[in-house]
Amino acid sequence: MAKVILGITMSLDGFINDRNGDVGRLYPDLAKLRETELLQESIKTTGAVVMGRYAYDMAHGDFTGYEYQRPIFVVTHNVPEVVAKGENGNFRFEFVTDGIESAVEQAKVAAGTKIVTVIGGANIAQQCLRNVLVDELHIGIIPVLLGDGLRFFEHLETGQIKLEIISVVKSDGRTDISYRVVK
């Protein structure tokens, strides 16, 4: 069955967006990020994606040219009336209204032997961690201090989650740390 990897980028002080919901300071050069070996490897090995409705809505209805051309399972309470642009044969949206566990299971089936990549905001990430649905946690740390905004590690309420470092990759403007979630 597919391995599930949760990836997120945050500021050094633990925020995944600023107090206005903006992520611009965390992604100063998206084109450069898309060319990194880490992202290219993730794109190559991902068989399906799970994301929250907030992440879906951030594209403003247009996924044309989206890096993950795979089935995307969007966890939501309300299915949008109009699906975003960009779908093609292999790249399609499935809206999952019965919870994160269902979305991850459906994505695992779709991914086959490839990886399920979980993308999105704090809510989806926290649900995955609380329910021990991920095998690995990949955190990109950007050397900025946002001071306020949405914290990644709030509302976990699980007691302790044990992590083991797999790798640390330093590149221009960020440090990426991969952890195995000890189950």
Q: Rounded distance, CA 141 to CA 139, Å?
A: 6
pLDDT, position 36: 77
Q: Classify 4-181 by CATH class.
A: alpha beta
Per-residue pLDDT of 106-128, as tens digits, reads: 999 999 999 999 997 788 988 99
CA distances from 116 to 65, 69, 125 (A): 20, 13, 13
More confident residue, 55 or 96: 96
* R_g (Cα) of the chain, nearest Å: 16
Q: Please tell me the predicted confidence (pLDDT) of residue 156.
A: 72
How confident is residue 165, by pLDDT bands cut at 50, 70 and 90? very high
Dihedral sign, Cα of residue 65, residue 94, residue 126, residue 114: negative
Q: How far apart are CA 60 and CA 174, in angstroms?
A: 27
Would you say the pTM of this structure is higher than 0.95? no
Give me the pLDDT at residue 16, please.
Answer: 92
Name the residue ranges covered by the structural domains of the chain: 4-181
